[in-house]
Amino acid sequence: MWPGKAYPLGATYDGFGTNFAIFSEVAEQVELCLFDGDGTETRMTLPEVDGFVWHGFIPNIQPGQRYGYRIHGPYDPANGHRCNPNKLVLCPYSKAIDGEFQWNQSLFGYNFGDPDSRNDDDSAASMPKSVVINPYFDWGVDRPPGHEYADSVIYEAHVKGLTKTHPDIPEAIRGTYAAVGHPAMIDHLKSLGVTAIELMPVHHFVNDSTLIEKGLTNYWGYNTIGFFAPDPKYSSNPAPGGQVQEFKAMVRALHEAGIEVILDVVYNHTAEGNHLGPTLSMRGIDNAAYYRLVDDDKRYYMDYTGTGNSLNVGHPHSLQLIMDSLRYWVTEMHVDGFRFDLASTLAREFYDVDKLSTFFELVQQDPTVSQVKLIAEPWDVGPGGYQVGGFPPQWTEWNGKYRDTVRDYWRGEPATLDEFASRLTGSADLYEHTGRRPVASINFVVAHDGFTLRDLVSYNEKHNEANGEDNRDGESHNRSWNCGVEGPTDDPEINALRAKQQRNFLTTLLLSQGVPMIAHGDELGRTQQGNNNVYCQDNELSWINWDSVDTDLMEFTRTVSALRAAHPVFRRRRFFSGDPVRHRGGGGLSDIMWFAPDGSEMTDEDWASGFAKTIGVYLNGQGIPHLDVRGQRIIDDSFMLFFNAHHEPIEFALPPENFAKAWIPVIYTADQVAEESKPYDAEAKVNIDARSMMVLRSAPQE
């Protein structure tokens, strides 16, 4: 063992040997434990410590070497310390982790039934091991696609759920990173106009013992134990560290197709849980530094996440861990952005949520992390945690208010029209005051957490009995409508209405200002049979069934997405002003105008009418205020959008000739197939079916 270096943290192979470095402010001695293939353990004391970083270098340690640490230090839970050298702990900077947790008493620092006791059973045989990786990879000419937010279509997906049953992907790689990067999957994503795939957690995560006892598993993966390590459960390469190479190959293939990779990351908590949880990594290394503890009784953990603990983002080494992880995934793994789970938790330095907390300041000034896509899930379960619209200017946010409003509008709830208009136009009420633009709003109707799109129109109530919690888990207020019958039905009218409602949601989503996000399989008619919380269902219930695809819905989605991509009026980079467009071709018409069904402009009384469920929207293609990359003014066709959430057909009047002499229907959700049809003259009457919308494009000038 040579002295080595205190930076970088983790295990770093340089071609000659490996440097090991780990932070612990409370440690009195740190043992590096090396494991042979048969599990034989060799312990070596790290010889140097600088700034509470223990380190050493060993020549000839090669990639594939498995290792862990034993931390000698205080075991004093009342003061927040839980060191115990009998517990092997994973390196917080593990680039790969090999093996599974074997749930038994040895993983816990106390004796079952007596949380105040100390347990000294050796945990090494029951622990997975950190792995030294080979950092070298042939990236070729890989470069980030660099799509502008305004031009983006995000596709939220689970690595396994997306690919596990796809018939055109070789069976040996289904459910893996290699499957996501397979040409069959890439072709599907491109056909939808997807510019970025947002992968649900791929950081190494833990399958909870409570779920395993029920015969279930942690399917979603929001239970991280390794912020640098791609989980091998999604790898077809069984070699220790093979998951790293496979993940990089997936990113390279997606980039070649022009598709960005965004990771759903969980930095707000870890899998070690509360004071009754296991000792797996940071708890046994420096508990008080890594976790938020209750001030007046440090045996217990602050829990803003509902999972037992919260990471201590007020400590510099915890912050360094997060920032080092983010930079690693950008620079070494070539990902293009992050969606931060329960991001409000990261803002909690003390008690209140503070959007200018240290974490966000660090991101703001980091030359690497600040340049990728940063998406916040802007809420947590703590007091004041709902922070939609409250994040710093460079951040975008999952817009939960968009989801709720659009669901309410299309299920016919009263008094939603004015807020629906705001959500349709980019939610200026939430974002404009902080200098942000429409792209700050990541629009979604459905995400992994909740009903699928098909289930949203098929169930009034959740049906989560398979989760083993007597249907108590999952959201109960889903803003869903089953169209008259709960669950599957043979009634052709109800099935037709459900299909139309799905088209309404997808069209609204893709043509709203902001950034649309589609949940995987919603374009295919995927169902979870009414289960709105499949976090523990790693089976056919949660996987896409590629043998049962709604091809009409898929083609419809492709058509609407192509319309969005072809017309910048749906991808504005600035909010509508409502001011007249005076330049040539603008005709003095506003960049946006709102119409009642009779063709008159909406009045304050119309907006205030609680029963109103119909509206027409004029989007002026001459009123796009920004320039293209060559400095030329962007000019587009103009569009009329008619929305009718009423239970009866409504006749709309088209505007007069100064808007356009004729209008061509390009999308009509009452039809299964979106296609252009015969033009309507100016001021003509257009009949819009019950619970339908129509999109009309201005005809070219003769």
* Residue 236: count of CB within 10 angstroms of its CB: 17
Catalytic residue among 341, 408, 455, 522: 341
**Helix 400-410 with 417-424: angle, nearest 10 deg:** 130
The Cα 368–Cα 374 span in angstroms is 12
* Catalytic residue list contains 377: yes
Ordered strands of the 662-668 beta sheet: 592-595, 614-619, 639-644, 692-698, 662-668, 680-681
How many angstroms separate the first and last alpha carbons of the chain? 82
The Cα 206–Cα 217 span in angstroms is 9
- Sheet strands (E) in 326-421: 337-340, 373-376, 396-398
- Pair 541, 551: CB distance under 8 Å: no
- Pair 32, 79: CB distance under 8 Å: no
The Cα 144–Cα 262 span in angstroms is 11
User: For 141-177, what is the HEC assignment?
Assistant: CCCCCCCCHHHCCEEEECHHHHHCCCCCCCHHHCCCH
Per 3-state DSSP, the chain is made up of helix, strand and coil in percentages (nearest 5) of 25, 20, 55
Q: Tokens 């009034």 map to which residue?
A: 460
Catalytic residue among 377, 408, 522, 636: 377
Hey, what are 93's tokens? 């900077």
Query: Is the preceding omega at residue 63 within 30 degrees of 0, hence cis?
Result: no
User: For 46-112, what is the HEC assignment?
Assistant: CCEEECCEEEEEEECCCCCCEEEEEEECCEEHHHCEECCCCCCECCCCCCCEECCCCCCHHHCCCEC
Hey, what are 121's tokens? 């059973």
Most distant CA atoms of the chain, gap in Å: 86
Task: Write the burial class of residue 648 (CB in 10 Å: 0-12 exposed, 13-18 middle, 19+ buried).
Answer: exposed
Residue-wise DSSP of 237-250: --STTHHHHHHHHH
* β-pairing verdict for 97-98 and 129-131: antiparallel
- Give the residue numbers marked as catalytic: 341, 377
